[in-house]
A and B are shown apart, each in its own frame.
Chain A
Amino acid sequence: MLRLHEYTYHRPGSVAEAARLLASHPGRARVIAGGTDLMPNMKHGLFTPEHVIALKQIGELHGIEERDGELVIGAAESLASVSRHPVVRAQFASLSQAAGSVAGPQLRNMGTIGGNLCLDTRCTYYNQTHFWRNALGYCLKKDGDVCHVTKVGRKCVAAHSADTAGVLMTLGAVADLESVNGARSVPVVDFFIADGIENTVREWNEIVTRVRIPLPSPRTRTAFQKVRQRGAIDFPLLNIAVVAQLGAALAIEDLRIVVSALGARPRVISGLDKVAVGRPLDEETTEAVAQRAFQQCHPLTNIIVDPDWRRAMVPVHVRRALTELAAGSVTAAE
């Protein structure tokens, strides 16, 4: 069995205490909630923090409730409870599906929504044991200076692999962060950057405390598609999140699509106002949207699955998402 390194484990009682602990060990501490990402990464020697600060026992990081026109989800809520929550199921079918499609039941019971948002990027040259990475000669993201995917690039192209992030971006969600310097809010759509080494704007001393999602209008419809090899466990090969505001006769008032799991940053499909907004959500529009998504997505060999196929699956699953959305047949996770 792979072994963990030695570290000091902290169980603070409040976010403020956790933030103080984090701030007092610059570069030597990491926070842990469900641990479903951090633990395997530590066993692979990707992170070797001297201090691990637990968050899950902090009461203020829990709770899912409607407040001031928003659904407020505590960052330490498990993916299982998010996917099953009645408001999520009724109002945000895509979020229920995305949270309910992460890994398997045991991992969803442990893994949290905050953790999913902050999930480390993944790459075939990175998520390996120390022995393997040593035989490789390491890589740009960890201990090395070469990207084996692009060969020349100075930016890490490891894949953003969080199932819920794209959905939260389309839903206009906001992430609340807290540190010893105070609190701030970042729209999830601005949360990610295109560098796989650290692909979020979260500062090293910040803790994600909440995710807030504006409650939808009656005209809002959502859809979610996840492509993976197996019916469970696997990280996504491709994720499509869609939110549409539909008027009478399926007239598109607004359409947001995020394609993720291809590169380091989820891709907001641009130019949909030109091909979709103001038109009916019919076959022709669907095809135009699907082609636009295809043109904007360029997967790499950061995952060990044929990038040409992954690219070809973008329009297929955009079409499927839009077709289901138009038919009103998107349902929450079981």
Chain B
Amino acid sequence: MTVTDYSDATRATGDAIIELVAVDKFFGNFQALKDINMRVGQQEVVVVIGPSGGGKSTLIRCINRLEKHDAGRLVVDGIELSDDVRNIQEVRRETGMVFQQFNLFPHLTVLDNVTLAPRQVRKLPKKDAEALAMQTLTRVKIPEQARKYPGQLSGGQQQRVAIARALAMQPKVMLFDEPTSALDPEMIKEVLDVMVELGRGGMTMVVVTHEMGFARAVANRVVFMAEGEIVEVGTPEHFFTDPQEVRTKLFLSQIL
């Protein structure tokens, strides 16, 4: 058995499915991402941590083109993100995203939220889409809520519906943008449990979170970002026992 070296962000555990090469991103004069190089392998779970305003959200929002990167190369599942709209749609079809604020469609039932994209984008017939939706809702453990509206559910339930909505597109990659930050403490666990199961089930995931327990449980690598740069990369054990950089140590001392 070979020991994989996780200490380099450009390295991945297998074939890379996401690849960022020298990516820059500006908001006006403010540089949100500075020369980001990163590869995420198939079935790898990468947790991104760091102080707020450090570019974590911007990083994963660039991966499915909710933000446009200004320089460098960004390749997802062999498709390079450019101004070509077809490429962008292609990438979005392969990546699911879960937002901090859930962003469920409030005018649609839970079932319609989940079946919308499979029907409209994948062109599945209604019946198949609903069967698929019930399957994913079962996976996040709320099949009984299918006929309700998002407004009738608790925050934790809503976030699990959001995960189901993303999963229904059968994506190759799942992006999580602080999925538990808007939740009441007692609801965080039910969402994390679903995410842990996903990760153990072999889903490729990039997760921005402050939940260190989650990072310990399933992360292959932890990436620490600050001021738009990747400061340090390592395994969870390395990270929580032997961080190298001053900024990393300072950050970890504040949150742990």
**Is B one of A's binding partners?**
no
